[in-house]
Structure 1
Amino acid sequence: MKIYVDADACPVKDIIISEAVSVEIPVILVTSFSHFSNAEQPPGVETIYVDSGADAADYRIMKLAESDDMIVTQDYGLASLGLAKGCLVLHHKGFTYTNENIDQLLQTRYLSAMARKSGKRTKGPKPFTQEDREQFRQLFKKAISRST
Structure 2
Amino acid sequence: MMKIYVDADACPVKDIIISEGTKADIPVILVTSFSHFSTAEQPSGVETIYVDSGADAADYRIMKLAKTGDIIITQDYGLASLGLAKGCTVLHHTGYTYTNENIDQLLQTRYLSAMARKGGKRTKGPKPFTAEDKEKFRGLFKSTILS
Q: Same fold (TM over 0.5)?
A: yes
Aligned residues, how many? 146
Deviation at 1:23, TM superposition (A): 1.1
Identity across aligned pairs (percent)? Answer: 84
Structure 1 segments of 4+ aligned residues over 3 angstroms from their partners: none
Deviation at 1:26, TM superposition (A): 0.1
2:29 is paired with a residue whose SS is strand
Unaligned stretches of 5+ residues in structure 2 = none
Instruction: Give matches, 1:30-41, under 5 Å.
Output: 30-41=31-42
Q: Which residue of 1 is the match for residue 126 of structure 2?
A: 125
Give, as a single letter, the amino acid of the residue that structure 1 aligns with 2:78.
G
CA distance in 1, matches of 2:129, 2:68: 29
Deviation at 1:72, TM superposition (A): 0.1
Instruction: Give matches, 1:1-148, under 5 Å.
Output: 1-146=2-147
Task: Write the deviation string for residues 23-71 of structure 1: whole angstroms up to 9, x where unpaired.
Answer: 1000000000000000000000000000000100000000000000000
CA distance in 2, matches of 1:107, 1:115: 12
Task: Write the deviation string for residues 71-125 of structure 1: whole angstroms up to 9, x where unpaired.
Answer: 0000000000000000000000000000000000000000000000000000000
TM-score, normalised to structure 2, is 0.99
CA distance in 2, matches of 1:23, 1:58: 25
TM-score, normalised to structure 1, is 0.98
CA distance in 2, matches of 1:27, 1:130: 23
